[in-house]
Amino acid sequence: MKKRFFSLVVLLGCALLGTAQQKTGLHLLKVHKIESDGGWDYLSIDQKNGLLYVSHGNQVNIINKNTSDSVGVIRNTQGVHGIAIANEFNKGYTSNGRMGSCTVFDLKTFAVIAQVNVGQNPDAIFFDSFSKKVFVFNGKSMDASVIDPKTDKLIATIPLGGKPETGVSDGKGKIYVNMEDTGEIICFDANTFKVLSRYRLKGGEEPSGLAIDKTTSRLFTVCSNKVMIVMEASTGKELAVLPIGDGADGVVFDETTKTAYSSNGEGNITVVKELNDQRFEVQETIATKTGARTIALDTQTHHLFLPTADFEKAATANARPKRVPKTFQVLEFGK
| CA–CA distances in Å: residue 313 to residues 31, 38, 231, 322 | 21, 19, 38, 8
Mean pLDDT of 250-256: 98
Give the span between the Cα atoms of 306 and 317, in whole angstroms. Answer: 25
CB 220 within 8 A of CB 230: yes
Q: For residue range 10-23, what is the model confidence (pLDDT) as tens digits? A: 333 434 444 445 78
pLDDT attached to residue 315 = 75
Burial 271-282 (b: 16+ CB within 10 A, else e): bbbbeeeeebeb
CB 219 within 8 A of CB 185: yes
Beta strand extents in 170-295 (DSSP E only): 174-179, 184-189, 195-200, 210-213, 218-223, 227-232, 238-243, 248-254, 259-264, 268-276, 279-287
pLDDT attached to residue 321 = 82
Give the span between the Cα atoms of 48 and 45, in whole angstroms. Answer: 9
Q: For residue range 156-210, what is the model confidence (pLDDT) as tens digits? A: 999 999 999 999 999 999 999 999 999 999 999 999 999 999 999 998 999 999 9
